[in-house]
Amino acid sequence: MTKIDIKNINTAISTWSGFIYQGKVALFHAIKLLTEDSNPSQFNLQLDSLEDFAVLNGEEIISIHQVKAVKSSYYSTYKPEFIKICTKSRKYTCVNVNFHLL
């Protein structure tokens, strides 16, 4: 019988839990829009395309969101993602950019 070396097994558990957290944040944000906006039926929630999620009104981007499930209090941990989302916001001319941290 061959023994499996646990250290060599590839797993998507950490990635999957990040996607679950991302989905929960997107769902929370969508519910918040439904309860706070006077006409929420005009919005569309777009997952994992423009960014981790985005809110659109037709083809107009209302907001883009980056979600990180990494526990760190250091700016350097998130700096590459801050730069990336700022670059995208200029590309899409979106001024409502959100960064959600665990």
As a residue count, the chain comes to 102
Pairing of strands 43-47, 97-101: unpaired
- In the predicted model, what is the mean pLDDT of the chain? 81
Q: How far apart are CA 53 and CA 43, in angstroms?
A: 13
- DSSP assignments along 49-92, one per residue: SSSSEEEEETTEEEEEEEEE------HHHHHHHHHHHHHHHHHT
The pLDDT tens digits of the residues spanning 21-51 come to 888 999 999 888 888 876 767 888 988 888 8
This prediction's pTM: 0.75
Is a pLDDT exceeding 60 seen at residue 10?
no
Is a pLDDT exceeding 70 seen at residue 58?
yes
